[in-house]
Amino acid sequence: MSSVKKSRATLIGVALAFIIPIIGAKLVLDQHWYQGAATNQGIMLVPPVELGELKQGLPEGWVVLLPQTGACGLACQQGLYAINQLDVALGKESGRVSPVFLTPTPTEHDLSQTPVVKAVADAELSQPFASLPADQIFIIDPLGNVILHYPLHQDEEAMRMEAKSVLSDLRKLLKLSRVG
């Protein structure tokens, strides 16, 4: 092989070494073979719902909120128990998170089984949650943004698994948060 042919082969080899990965990456992205990394286990609200001045009706810091408009059925009771247990599960970080049961009118539901959960009756604060999916647990950041939600389940085991998802996401948020 002559030196000209060797030089061309080397030049083509170097060019292919740079071009093939670019073509491969473009193909992977165009064909949607790559799923972006998401570490949250809840469903993210994009864009987040901003509560603004309505946040004044909630405790300071992070809030795990269970809004309810009607009677508190089995799924609601499972949700109340789950957000009550977050206090124990978060350990030293539990002071940064407040579990809240939100109703538009004062509730007649007995919260004695969930002593950590704070009941808030505020019709104006309940309004933004009417447009969001029903029977959900919401995470609200200290700035008043509703960012994540998790479905309620009537089955105790399914709700326990969902509570683990809430706990996992809360731990990440608290670890990375510079506010609250």
Beta bridge partners of 140: 63, 146
Which residues touch 118 (CB under 8 Å, ≥6 apart)?
Answer: 59, 98, 99, 100, 101
Give the model's pLDDT for residue 159: 93
**107 vs 23, residue with greater confidence:** 23
pLDDT tens string 7-16: 899 999 999 9
Q: What pTM did the predictor assign?
A: 0.79
35: pLDDT strictly greater than 80? no
- Mean pLDDT across the chain, nearest whole number? 90
**179 vs 147, residue with greater confidence:** 147
Give the model's pLDDT for residue 40: 84
Which residues touch 171 (CB under 8 Å, ≥6 apart)?
Answer: 90, 93
pLDDT tens string 60-111: 999 999 999 888 889 999 999 999 999 889 989 999 999 999 999 988 888 8
How buried is residue 68: exposed, middle or buried, by Cβ count under 10 Å (0-12/13-18/19+)? buried
Give the model's pLDDT for residue 1: 66
